[in-house]
A and B are shown apart, each in its own frame.
Chain A
Amino acid sequence: MKTSNSILGILIIVFSGIGFVYVQSTDIQSKVGLSPGAFPQFLFILFALCGLVITRESDSEKSSDTSPFEWKNTVKILLAFIAYVFGFEYGGFLASTVVFLIIAMYVFNERRMKILLMVPLLTSVCIYFLFTELFLIPLP
């Protein structure tokens, strides 16, 4: 965590610098009062200052998280979720939701075949009915 804070702080400073320069280059003078870019520029300066303090915090910061983080499972869920978000747009609600639920439940360690098949089907149909008939919200 000590090294992380240094890197984070530097990233924040770099991001703030890029943002500040971008706003300056695209800012247009307002006809009245402060320009549209004034507030974002102020915020980027403040963000950079926070980054500076966070970098210095690395010396005294103690890590509270001692257990190893299971990145594999998080990445799997995230990839499945990203695929679902785009599948939802191009494949429609029902098909994409059934497929996503099967994959996600499997990643979350569900191994019972009956549950893996029945729950996604039932859930997708119930949510579809809930949204379209009860809440009157059309789904793709």
Chain B
Amino acid sequence: MDFSAISSSLMQMFDVQVLGWLLLGVLVGIIFGAIPGLTATTAIALFTPMTFGLNFNSAFSFLLAIFCGGLYAGSIPAILIKTPGAPGNAATILDGYPMARSGRAGEALFHSVFSSWIGGTFSALALLFFAPVIAKLALQFGPQEYFSVSLFGLSCIAGLSGKSLAKGIAGGVLGMLFGTVGLDPIDGMSRFTFGQVNLLRGIEIVPALVGLFAVTEVLLKANTIGKEEIVNIPQISLKLVNILSYIRLYWHKKILVFKSAVIGTIVGAIPGTGASTASWISYNEARRTTKHPEEFGNGSVDGLIASETANNAISGGALIPLLTLGIPGDTATAVLLGALTIQGLIPGPMMLVEHFNILALMLWMLMLGNLFMLIFGVWGSKYFPKILSIPQQILMPIILVLCVTGSYAVANSFFDVQIALILGILGFIMVKYEFPLAPLVLGLILGPIMEPNFRRALVANQMNPMIFITSPISLFFLLLTLFTAVMVYRRTKKSAAK
């Protein structure tokens, strides 16, 4: 642990420009997170290309602050209008909305932001402590280990598949097929380029994600034109004396808070999972172990704390596999992978060994980002209904403009804009026919990691596939993959029987 790097990184954060980007990022993240359908991932995808001209400190302060603010802010519509801002806030509805209905909206909003702050801060510290350990282990990784880890990440597609496992797997396979477009990584032959020079570099991840998330969402929102519902948003009251009593409550619930933060961090660190998985596991665990399970679903503060702490705790956790292995923990960190590339950095164990200060900087960015999120969340709670009232007829077209300019900005390429358009249409069709999008994103990221490592492992071992089993780390991840597959199969059979 390099303490001098940690302290010098903190000094670097006290720069007016960096703090400005951090504040702006939290604000942008809260606005995007609070509007149902727009998520932290969408915001990061839209704004990543704009960080091209910024230095690393400003760029990542902005993006990580969007991440923190966006993860939390989805709880605002969940509590006020029973609609989660993002899938990770769905569990918050169960207790947050009843609290709002019974005149405790201010209390619910406070617990949501305070729990989010604790979860986010805890996971930032976990990132600092565990990432170097995993990076050292990852230095021993060969191609067979990378193949097995990415296969394990792909096995988690099942958890993202929703109702139809076949549709989830199909989405993942389609993503992997997109990942094969361009030059073959071993032989350098072109695949699926159809004579197009622009396709030789493959499908750029940032325009792809802009299309899949932002363009798709706007096309879906076109369905609601003329059908906008008038929603009643409850009154919000939050007094200082009440805030102090709410904070004292957290000491009494320290075990619940700690457990939820740990669950969120660990789930976030597993490639292919995300906030939704973390918050539901944490909520169910809290309900299982509470002395008053009957209160859950009727305005229980414990339920709200459990879901929101875990939800934000994925922020640091998801950065662990990204920074140590170059494998994103969730879709938002998949976009951050693109942001790191824009900054000229290749994530992996060598990056942390040679640039420990980057890890230290990210720690402070997450800590300060979460702190600003807490301040905005508490101070701004009475203004949140205004975010929910932003006219969609103005916002949606502006988002499409940002999609075009953002996709263009990645490489000053009109082709990337066309990619965003095509994938936006594809994403729209997929959602209409109930194909989940997250597996496609996962396939697009993990496919190009899995294939070359599989081929390299075979070539290095005279085409002997036993190398995947004789390597202990590889065998461990293959067994985990098998375990996940069995669990998913049993769960699918159970739902089919119901």
| Chain A residues close to B by CB (< 8 Å) | 1, 4, 8, 12, 19, 23, 28, 30-37, 39-40, 43-44, 46-47, 50-51, 53-54, 57, 60-61, 64, 69-70, 73-74, 76-78, 81-82, 84-85, 88-89, 93, 97, 100-101, 104-105, 107-110, 115, 119, 123-124, 127, 130-131, 134-140
Who on chain B is nearest to A39 by CB?
Answer: B451
| CB < 8 Å A-B pair total | 164
Distance (Å) between the CB of A61 and the closest chain B CB? Answer: 8
- Is A88 a contact of B404 with CB atoms below 8 Å? yes
From A60, which residue of chain B is reached at the shortest CB distance?
B496
Determine the chain A residues whose CB is within 8 A of the CB of B496 once the complex forms.
Answer: 60
B459 touching A119, Cβ below 8 Å: no
Question: What residues make up the interface of B, taking CB atoms closer than 8 Å to A?
Answer: 49-54, 163-164, 166-167, 169-170, 173-174, 176-177, 180, 184, 186-187, 189, 191-192, 215, 218-219, 222-223, 225-227, 391-394, 396-398, 400-402, 404-405, 408-409, 412, 414, 417-418, 421, 424-425, 428, 432-434, 451, 454-455, 458-459, 463, 496
B225 touches A70 (CB 8 A): yes
Besides A40-B177, A74-B222, 18 other A-B contacts (C-beta < 8 A): A8-B433, A33-B459, A39-B455, A43-B177, A46-B169, A47-B177, A73-B223, A74-B428, A81-B424, A84-B400, A84-B404, A93-B405, A97-B401, A101-B401, A104-B400, A110-B393, A131-B405, A137-B53
A sample of 21 inter-chain contacts (CB < 8 A) reads A33-B455, A34-B455, A43-B176, A50-B167, A50-B170, A51-B170, A54-B170, A60-B496, A64-B163, A81-B421, A81-B424, A88-B404, A89-B417, A100-B401, A104-B396, A107-B225, A108-B396, A108-B397, A109-B393, A137-B53, A137-B409
What's the Cα separation between A43 and B171 when bound, in Å?
A: 11
Which residue, of B170, B184, B225, has the highest number of chain A Cβ atoms within 10 A? B170
Chain A residues within an 8 Å CB radius of B227: 70
Among A107, A131, A134, point to the contact of B222 (Cβ < 8 A). Answer: A107
The contact of A137 among B50, B177, B397, B428, by CB within 8 Å, is B50
Which one of A108, A136, A140 has the greatest number of beta carbons of chain B within 10 Å?
A108
Query: In the bound complex, do residue A89 and residue B414 qualify as a contact, i.e. CB atoms below 8 Å apart?
Result: yes
- In Å, the complex CA distance between A77 and B186 comes to 42
Q: Which residues of chain B are within 8 angstroms of A1 by Cβ–Cβ distance?
A: 434
Name the residue of chain A whose CB is nearest to the CB of B412.
A138
- In the complex where A50-B169, A73-B223, A78-B219 touch, is A127 in contact with B401 (Cβ < 8 A)? yes
A124 to B424, CA, bound (A): 22
Find out whether the CB atom of A30 lies under 8 angstroms from the CB atom of B186: yes
Provide the bound-state CA to CA distance between A115 and B394, in Å.
9
Closest Cβ neighbor of B456 among chain A residues = A33
CA distance A136 to B52 in the complex (A): 8
User: A81 and B393: CB pair below 8 A?
Assistant: no
The main secondary structure of chain B at its interface with chain A is helix
- Complexed CA–CA distance, A46 and B170 (Å): 8
Q: How far is the CB of A87 from chain B (nearest CB, A)?
A: 10
Q: How far is the CB of A85 from chain B (nearest CB, A)?
A: 5
Instruction: State in angstroms the CA–CA spacing of A46 and B54 once bound together.
Output: 42
Which 5 pairs, one residue from A and one from B, show the smallest C-beta to C-beta distance? Answer: A136-B53, A104-B397, A108-B393, A36-B184, A50-B170
Residues from chain A with Cβ under 8 Å of B418 in the complex? 85
From B52, B405, B432, A139 is in contact (CB under 8 Å) with B405
Closest to B400 in A: A81
Question: In the assembly, what is the distance between CA of A100 and CA of B215, in Å?
Answer: 15
In whole angstroms, how far apart are the Cα atoms of A9 and B171 in the complex?
13
A25 to B391, CA, bound (A): 53
**When chains A and B are docked, how far (Å) is the Cα of A19 from the Cα of B408?**
30
In the bound complex, do residue A101 and residue B398 qualify as a contact, i.e. CB atoms below 8 Å apart?
A: yes
- For A100, the chain B residues whose CB sits under 8 A away are 397, 400-401
Determine the distance from Cα of A60 to Cα of B498 in the docked complex, in whole angstroms: 12
In angstroms, Cα B454 to Cα A15, docked, is 26
Q: Are B405 and A127 in contact (CB under 8 A)?
A: yes
Q: Please name all residues of chain B whose beta carbon is closer than 8 Å to the beta carbon of A46 when the two chains form the complex.
A: 169, 173
B459 neighbours in A (Cβ, 8 Å) = 32-33
Which residues of chain A have C-beta atoms less than 8 A from B169's C-beta?
46, 50
Please determine whether B222 and A36 come into contact, CB atoms closer than 8 angstroms: no
Quick one: which of B164, B180, B218, B226 contacts A77, CB cutoff 8 A?
B218
Which single member of B166, B396, B397, B400 contacts A50 (CB below 8 Å)? B166
Docked CA distance A69–B156 (Å): 32
Contact A36 B53, beta carbon cutoff 8 Å: no
